[in-house]
Amino acid sequence: MTEVRTTVTQYTVNAYPNPDSINARHYSITVEHRGGDRWAVCHMGAFLSAGGRWSWRDAHHHDHDTALCLAQRAASRVLVNGRTAAQCWKWEQSVRAEAEAVTHG
């Protein structure tokens, strides 16, 4: 009988308060396996260095635990259209409240 293995090749780290929100995916950071004990921390085509800076070069590889730690630290600082996940969530809630006020007002 052939041995079947399950291998983790990618993690997703996200600080968006509601994972089901249409906006949540934009704040996702992935930690992607690059072979051996090399992992890349990625967001929208950019790669995170050990110093916490984003680069367009896939030259920043880390060991597994370091990559996950870097991604978790960076998650709350990811900017999309100039907003962090928390700021976008607050905006999303205000838009929802305004729409409900118009609908039920």
Are the C-beta atoms of residues 29 and 78 closer than 8 Å to each other? yes
Are the C-beta atoms of residues 38 and 66 closer than 8 Å to each other? no
Quickly count: other Cβ atoms within 10 Å of residue 78's Cβ.
22
User: Looking at the domain assignment, is residue 1 inside a domain?
Assistant: no
**Which phi and psi (to 5°) does residue 25 adopt?**
-60, -25
User: Looking at the domain assignment, is residue 94 inside a domain?
Assistant: yes
User: Looking at the domain assignment, is residue 2 inside a domain?
Assistant: no
Range of the domain at 39: 10-104
User: Looking at the domain assignment, is residue 58 inside a domain?
Assistant: yes
Residues of the chain with pLDDT under 70: 105
pLDDT in tens, 24-50: 999 999 999 999 999 999 999 999 999
With pLDDT > 70 as the criterion, what percentage of the chain qualifies?
99
User: Looking at the domain assignment, is residue 33 inside a domain?
Assistant: yes
Domain tally for the chain?
1
User: Looking at the domain assignment, is residue 4 inside a domain?
Assistant: no
